[in-house]
Chains A and B, each alone.
Chain A
Amino acid sequence: MGSTSTLDRRTFLAATASLTVGSCLPASVLAAMPLSPALFVCDRRFTGSLARADVHATVTYIDGDVTALWRDQLSGLWQNGTASVSGLTQPAALFCLEQLARGHGRSVSARHTVAGTDAIAWVISPVSPRGFL
C-alpha cells in the first residue's frame, strides 16, 4: 500500500483548492469535514497537492486500488468506533469505499468533484444509529 503520513483539515482543503484554481469546496463538504479524521486517503496521482502537509491525521496513499487499504486498515477501523475517514481519490475508488461503507454503518456525508480533474474529495462518516446502512 505504501507510505503513510499525516495531515489536518487545512491541508485537506489546501490540497483540494490547489487542484482547482480559483474554486473552493462547498459549505456542505467543509461542514462535514472532521477536524481530525481518523484517516485521510489520498490517491498518489494527487499527492503533489499534499506536499505542504500540516500533520494531524494519518494519510494513506493508494494507487487507485483500495484492496490493501480495506484489508489492512478500514475493515478494522470500521468494525467499531465512530471515526470519520476523508479522502481525495478517483471516483472508482470512492465507489468501492462507498459500497463497503454501507455494510459497516457508514455513508458518504460529503463529496465534491474537483473541477477540471479526476479528483473527488469526500468524507465517510457513521450513520447513527443504523446498524449497517
Chain B
Amino acid sequence: MRIPTGVSAADFSAALTAFTRVVGAEWVFTSDADVDLYRDAYSPLAGQPDERRASAAVAPANAEQVQAVVRIANQYRIPLYAISTGKNLGYGGSAPAYTGSVVVDLKRMNRIIEVDEANASVLVEPGVSYFDLYNHLRAIGSKLWIDCPDPGWGSVVGNAIDRGGGYTMANYRNHFESHCGMEVVLPDGELLRTGMGAIPGSKTWQQYKSGCGPWVDGLFSQGNYGIVTKMGFWLMPEPEAFLRCTVRVPRYKDLIPLVDTLNYLENSRIVTGFPDLATPLLGYPPTGQVQLYIEGTAAYPMTDEHKALLAKADQGYSPELEAYGLAHDIPYWELWVSYYGPPEVIDAQWQASQRRFAKIAGAQFKVIDRLTMPVDLTKIDDYHEPELGVPSLRAFSIGARTPYNPSPSKGHMWFSPIIPRTGEAIFEANRVFSAAAKELGMPLFQTFSMPACFWERSFIFILATPVTTDPATNRKYLAGFKKLIEIGGQHGWGEYRTAPVFQESVMDVYSFNNHALHRFHETLKDAIDPKGILSPGRYDIWPRHLRKKAP
C-alpha cells in the first residue's frame, strides 16, 4: 500500500478506517490492483518514478458522506483528489495532481435530481455521465438536448469543472458557462450553495446564475477550493431543424475575411452552430468531422502533383500551390457553418450568411445537411453525433489503426493554447508552433493546422502530442510540450486547460505583475484550506507546506 508523503502509517490507517466507517468497506480501495485503475491511461510518465499516482480511493454516495470524508482528511492531514467520472484523458485522466492523494471518486453520486422542462435546465450529481443524462431525457420523453464533448462517457459536472466544451449552439458549448448554480463541500467540510441556491427554499437556483454579491462559482472550476456535489445546467430545447452548409474560398489570404465574417455572424447570433474550419488544399479536415474522414467517407483526395506541391509549400503556402488550387477548383479554406431552429429562420440565417461571405471573391456555397427533428437515430452514424445532441465514443476510433493512422499512439496530451479569433492569428500560430515543433522534434504538424471553434471569441489551437511506449521519447515530448507553452506565452497565448504534469508551466505563463493571479490563488488556498488537503497542486495551487517557491 502507498502512503502519502508526510503522513504516518498510523494516521493513514486511522483515516482509512474512518473513511470505511462513513462509506462502508466496499467503497474504500487500497489494494494496488484497485488503486492502479486511477492511473492516467494516457500518462507520458507511465511506470516512471515521477508518474503521479494515488495512494487509495474512497467513493462516497452523497454530499453528507463527502463532508465526512473531508473532515476526516483534515483531522489526519490526508491529501484528497476529487474526480467525477475520471475520464479526463488527454488532460490527466483520473490521476491526482499530487502523488499519494486519496482519490474521492464521485461516480456513485449519479442522481439526476431535477429536469425542469419549462426552464430547460437540469440539476445533477457528479457521477452523471452524458450518456446517463441523454438516456434519462429520452426515457422521460423530454424535448431537451444535451451538449456533450466528443467522448460521451464523461461527467456533465466533471467536464464543466475542467471547463470543457461541446458542439451544439454557442451558448451551450462552453460547459462551465452554461452551468447555473452549484453545491460545494468546502475544504473544512462545510456545505455551500452558490447563486440563488444560497437562499433557503430558493425557487430560482437554476434560473439566475450569480445571485447577489461576489460570484464565486469560477473558483470551483480548475481549482482546489471545494468538491462540487451538485450542479445545475441550462439545456438546449430540441430545435425544429438543423442546417449545415459549407463556405469555400479560393485564396490563401481569404482566411482573414472568412474568419472576420464568421465572427460578425456569430456575434450577431446569425451563425449559431459549431463552426468548423478546414483546408481542402492543405488536406486538413474539419475538427468535428474527423471521424468521417478516417472512415473514408469525406476525405479530400489528392493527386501526386498536388502532394508534391504541398510538400514544397512553406507553412502551407506557395504561389504554385495556390495556382494549382485555383486551376483545379480546390479551395484553400472551407468553413462548415450550422444553424439550429425553425426551418424558415435557419434558411433566412443561411441567406444572410451567404450575402456576407459573398463579399469574398470566388466564395462558393453548399448545403450539406438539412434535417428535421427529432434526430433519426438509425442514421446517426452519418453525422458527428454531438452536434445533434447525441453522445458518442466514435472519437476513439481515431486511435485505431487505419490508413489515416497507420501507427496508433498510446494516447495523447492535448496542447491547447487560446489564440485570437482572426485569420492572422491562425497563420502566426502555425508559423510559430510548427517551427518550434520541428526544432523540438515533435510530430505535431503534417502541413498546416486549423484551430477549434468551441468558444465564441477565441480559437483553441489544439494539437495532440502523442504518448508512445518509449519512455525516452515521452520525456522528449514532455520537455518539448513545456517549451511550446513557454513559446506560446512569449506570444501572449496561454492554455485553456492542461494536465497536472503541465500545470506549473502553464500557470507560469499567467505571470502579469509578478504572478499576482497565482499569488491570489494561493492566498485563497491558505485561507480556506489551511491544512492543504484538497487537490493540492491542481492548477499549480499548492498549500503552504508543499510550496516550492517562497510564499
Contact = CB atoms under 8 A, between A and B. Distances in A.
Interface of A: 63-68, 70-71, 75, 90-93, 95-96, 99-100, 102-103, 107, 118, 129-133
Contact of B396 (A68, A75, A96, A131): A96
B408 A103 contact: no
Interface stretch (B26-34, B277-285, B440-448): B26-34
B401 interface: yes
Interface in B89-111: 107-108
A92 B152 CA distance: 16
Interface residues of B, number: 30
A92 B400 CA distance: 5
Contact of A92 (B26, B37, B85, B408): B408
A130 B393 contact: no
A131 B291 CA distance: 34
Interface string B117-135: 0000000000000010001
B393 A90 contact: no
B513 to A, nearest CB: 42
B397 A65 contact: yes
10 contacts: A65-B381, A75-B135, A92-B401, A95-B396, A96-B396, A103-B85, A118-B401, A132-B107, A133-B29, A133-B34
B107 A75 contact: no
Interface of B: 26-27, 29, 34, 37, 41, 59, 85, 87, 107-108, 131, 135, 152-153, 291, 295, 381, 385, 391-394, 396-397, 399-402, 408
Given A67-B385, A92-B400, A102-B37, A132 B59 contact: yes
A75 B399 contact: no
Given A67-B385, A92-B399, A103-B107, A129 B408 contact: no
A90 B401 contact: yes
B444 to A, nearest CB: 21
B163 to A, nearest CB: 22
B131 A71 contact: yes
Contacts of B87: 99
B108 A64 contact: no
Contacts of B397: 64-65, 92
Contact of A100 (B37, B153, B401): B153
A95 B59 contact: no
A125 to B, nearest CB: 14
Nearest to B34: A133
Shortest beta-carbon contacts, A-B, top 5:
A92-B400, A92-B399, A64-B397, A65-B394, A67-B393
A64 B402 CA distance: 10
B59 to A, nearest CB: 7
B333 to A, nearest CB: 29
